């Protein structure tokens, strides 16, 4: 897959995700626990899209030793979304999370076959958002776009499988079976 002509640029942060989360918790009278700190550290140690099961796989050893519990993982994910540190998307039948803090605004392409998420940014969407907002006297602060379809690899595989299953016109008495679903 080729790289986007509009790559995502780094964002300067006034405070670390851990510091921001601690402020959020304290402002709501909640405790800053070692479990919560560990979960935030694991999540922000690298950037990827993940669900709760993926996160718990990263925390497997800590969960076995009972340093972190399953309910705490789910509760902390919700708090991180509420604090603006994570964004939550619904894909198929599950929640998928990504960094909402310390990562630039961007949108996604979602492959319905392999379930891959491809991040991209284009200033054209920002221009459209601003134009539509002006027309409706609306102050936009963000947007989220998820384009569903099929990635290059899955399309190639679908075409290959379709070509292998098409009837041979000579063995069928010279009659074509008509267009395949990929052609129609």
Q: What's the pLDDT at 95?
A: 94
DSSP 8-state code for residue 96: E
**Please, which residues have CB within 8 angstroms of residue 154's CB and are 6 or more apart in sequence?**
111, 113, 114
Give the separation between CA 80 and CA 84, rounded to whole angstroms. Answer: 6
Q: Is the pLDDT of residue 169 over 70?
A: no
153, pLDDT greater than 80 = yes
Express each pLDDT in 67-122 by its tens digit.
Answer: 889 999 999 999 999 999 999 999 988 999 999 888 888 899 999 999 998 999 99
What's the chain's average pLDDT? 85
Q: How confident is the model at residue 7 (pLDDT cuts 50, 70, 90)?
A: low
On the question of pLDDT at 163 being above 50, the answer is: yes
Secondary element (H or E) of residue 26: helix 17-27
């Amino acid at each position: 897959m080729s790289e986007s002509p509009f790559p995502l640029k780094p964002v300067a942060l006034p405070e670390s995700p851990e510091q921001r989360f601690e402020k959020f918790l304290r402002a709501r009278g909640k405790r800053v626990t070692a479990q919560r700190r560990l979960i935030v550290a694991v999540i922000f140690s690298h950037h990827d899209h993940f669900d709760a099961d993926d996160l718990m796989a990263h925390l497997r050893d800590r969960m076995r030793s009972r340093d972190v519990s399953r309910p705490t993982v789910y509760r902390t994910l919700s708090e991180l979304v509420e604090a603006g540190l994570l964004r939550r998307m619904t894909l198929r039948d599950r929640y998928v999370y990504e960094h909402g803090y310390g990562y630039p605004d961007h949108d996604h392409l979602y492959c319905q076959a392999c379930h891959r998420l491809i991040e991209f940014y284009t200033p054209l969407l920002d221009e459209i958002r601003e134009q539509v907002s002006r027309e409706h006297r609306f102050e936009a602060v963000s947007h989220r776009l998820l384009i569903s379809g099929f990635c290059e690899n899955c399309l190639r595989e679908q075409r290959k499988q379709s070509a292998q299953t098409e009837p041979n016109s000579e063995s069928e008495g010279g009659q074509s079976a008509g267009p395949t679903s990929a052609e129609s």
